[in-house]
Amino acid sequence: MAVVQKWREGMSSDNVKGLVLALSSSLFIGASFIVKKKGLKKAGASGIRAGVGGYSYLLEPLWWAGMITTILVTPLGALSIIISAVLAHIILRERLHTFGILGCILCVVGSTTIVLHAPQERQIESVTEVWDLATEPGFLFYTALVLTAVFILIYQFVPQYGQTHIMVYIGVCSLVGSISVMSVKALGIALKLTFSGTNQLVYPQTWAFTLVVITCVLTQMNYLNKALDTFNTAVVSPIYYVMFTSLTILASVIMFKDWDGQSPTQILTEMCGFVTILSGTFLLHKTKDMADGPGLSTSLSMRSLKHEEDDGFGEGIPLKRQDT
């Protein structure tokens, strides 16, 4: 009973409302991943694939439908992992191993734990206050590390391993995403205060955050499309969710000092949730190229690149390049 009481104390009505909103949006988010993937495959059939640097998907209405659906809801609710996996199995004929499904469930459980015990937002009175937080040494150091890692991935790893290592594209998306979320939050605060009567549009910091948001979102969109066009959607969705969420939490802790007002129990519970989603990601990694049933499971070391879908774009690309 004492544990249950502490668990209830660790949650607030805002946490519960946030969880309900996230779950209610998950159907649209999960479906949008499938619609975008169908749009990418359709565009790739008549032009250059996004996975190899093409942008013909920008002329594909189906891709835009999926993209707009994603924008209209909060990106990547926890349940969307399961929805994406199920719809990918039914619509795209992408197969997920039983342990892969378990990995998805673990991701959902861990994410839900983190959301329910998330810290309360601090009160912000001006966009300049957010700017001061963003320019503190700790967050500037984090930003420098992120930018360095992104440039290394884009210029060193993407040309060689982008088509065979799923973590390359997703790593770029997630790292850039952690910065974009902080900027979106700052921009949202500025707009909220402006609509409340305190004009924040006169501050140059508002427009600086806007520029960062546009740059980061375009970068995320580009490399997420590459990941969806190259790898299994049922694997891209949860791995991206885990990395994106984890790095966003880290960025928020550094910038907004979210853990300052939390008890050790709440922090420990959040860490347990984080370990749970890491475990789910590990299962997805290990079972990406496995199939259920005797004789159908194939070792990663023996798998080669293949394209076996009807339109020529297969989903059996292994996570790591195999030496010949």
DSSP assignment of 264-287: HHHHHHHHHHHHHHHHHHHHHHHT
Cβ neighbours for 163, distance < 8 A, ≥ 6 positions apart: 51, 52, 230, 305, 317
Percent of the chain's residues with pLDDT above 70: 65
| pLDDT at residue 209 greater than cutoff 80 | yes
**Structure confidence at residue 76 (pLDDT):** 44
Average pLDDT over residues 65-83: 58
232 sits in the region (left: phi over 0; alpha: psi -120 to 50; else beta) called beta
- Which range is least confidently modeled, 37-46, 133-142, 185-194? 37-46
Give residue-wise pLDDT tens across range 238-259.
788 778 878 888 888 888 886 7
**What residues does each domain of the chain span?**
1-93, 120-260
Average pLDDT over residues 296-310: 40
| pLDDT at residue 324 greater than cutoff 50 | no
Average pLDDT over residues 270-282: 80
Q: Is the pTM of this model over 0.85?
A: no
Average pLDDT over residues 217-227: 89
**Structure confidence at residue 23 (pLDDT):** 56
| pLDDT at residue 147 greater than cutoff 50 | yes
